[in-house]
Chains A and B, each alone.
Chain A
Amino acid sequence: LAKTTQPISMDSYEGQEVNITCSHNNIATNDYITWYQQFPSQGPRFIIQGYKTKVTNEVASLFIPADRKSSTLSLPRVSLSDTAVYYCLVGDGTFNKFYFGSGTKLNVKP
């Protein structure tokens, strides 16, 4: 299974765009890239998923370069409520198993 590497923490201010990059050099052909958000005392929550190029939904965008060895989660105009840990996961879903990396703790300041 592909291992992921993310920054341990990031700081931002309200209203800014935040980009969190995840490295997954050993990603396999069939692997998808999925991002989860976790608030304290809650289970992780699905944010976005992609295979290549760009995916956008109502909360975030996911940018995946052609070699797929990395991906960037983009959160537009963050607010204090976006303070959370963000996990990047890579897998093909064949065995439906998720292996979480260390995650990135995002701290949004007023």
Chain B
Amino acid sequence: SAVISQKPSRDICQRGTSLTIQCQVDSQVTMMFWYRQQPGQSLTLIATANQGSEATYESGFVIDKFPISRPNLTFSTLTVSNMSPEDSSIYLCSVEEPISYNEQFFGPGTRLTVL
């Protein structure tokens, strides 16, 4: 199974600033996903990031607020822009390996606190 790492593991940021979260996979994958999980809540899909194409955003999420890069098959970044306290959450990336069906592997998450 894919091993996924995220950086940073946690951060405390000031309102109005931006934070870029990195997701690194130990194997080449086509599909990468970004989720948000607010404290005590379930996961919400933010966007799907395929290498070589623009990310596809879910309803309620826009590129200006959450720009995503996918420069190659093992790496992606999610930026949380112009942050407010409502952006305080855990952000997780996940991947689906080519040989697995409907099975995603998740990173450990990035815990973001916005003051």
Contacts and interface: CB of A to CB of B under 8 A. Distances in A.
A89 to B, nearest CB: 8
Contacts of A16: none
Contacts of A102: 42
Main SS class of interface, B: strand
Interface residues of A, number: 22
A102 B41 CA distance: 7
A6 B108 CA distance: 24
A110 interface: no
A101 B103 contact: no
Interface string A78-105: 0000000001000111011111111100
Contacts of B105: 46
B31 A44 contact: no
Interface string B30-47: 010101000000111100
B76 interface: no
Given A34-B102, A43-B92, A43-B94, A98 B45 contact: yes
B48 interface: yes
B4 to A, nearest CB: 8
Interface of A: 32, 34, 41-46, 49, 87, 91-93, 95-103
Given A92-B102, A93-B102, A99-B45, 7 more contacts: A43-B106, A44-B104, A45-B106, A46-B105, A93-B101, A96-B33, A103-B42
